[in-house]
Structure 1
Amino acid sequence: MDLVQYAWIAWLVVALVCFIIEMVTLEFTFLMIGLSSVVGLVSSITGLPWWAQILIAAAAALLLLFLVRPRLLHRLHESGELNKQGIEALLGMAGEVTRSFVRGAGEVTLVNGDIWTARLSPAVQPRDPDVGERIVVTAIEGATAIVVSAQR
């Protein structure tokens, strides 16, 4: 039994493991190694000797890591702004009043679909916004969104 004829299975396993690791790390390194493993798999299917498969996969890995990965990372970060998460993502988000404000407190639905209890910001003139009025989140205090009217 010649183990070289089953080398494609090893290449496939390496590629799948790399793709799974890439889903956790999200830095394109394991994606490039996984793609080079696919190149090794293809060279295995064509019947090349094991040493040629390794050389071809290594060359593909080097090319992908040093030529393609930097360009992908640059494209990913070219906006210059990192994705905001959690409370930071809510600051500045628009929405509308969905339950009447009474003495500066009510309920709003943000553009992302979240429903928040809300208070009017102390930085604005005290008044109760009407249902349907557009608002903007200026702060989060606990489970309460601090809002101002967007119609200023």
Structure 2
Amino acid sequence: MDSPINSQKTVSDDDEIDYSIKPEFYDSDLDDKDELWMAKKRDGRTSDAVLSCPACFTTVCLECQRHEQHVTQYRAVFVVNCRVDKDTILQHKAIPAKVGKRRRDYEMQETGSEESEKVTQVFCSACSTEIGVVDSEEIYHFFNVIPSEP
């Protein structure tokens, strides 16, 4: 193997690149193509955000609705790159919006009731970060995601 004896004679990679030729991996129309792809995927429906995993930035949802009160939470029906842990079922207890003594009495009754909703954990399929839950009606509730403009 030939090794350079004098390092001053070595030519850098940058000197070998011809910048007058258009790079083969560059596409000036890529943004327009991506926008058309997204419109086709949504089939005319709108979305409040595109959701990504907070750990690896993998897209997990293209079409979702923001929660009315909790602005960092979203719900969706169609998801991508998500793994549901069907072995672990969690109990989610609904708390009424009442205040005072009536609320405490109602909570005690609800705690013992079987009307609490069962949910299953949802993870990013790329890195296994927990990103939300899915309920019994197969509606995904995302609370640990990064939203971006649709």
Structure 2-normalised TM-score?
A: 0.33
Say which one has the larger Rg. 1
Structure with the higher helix share, 1 or 2: 1
Structure with the higher strand share, 1 or 2: 2
Structure 1-normalised TM-score?
A: 0.33
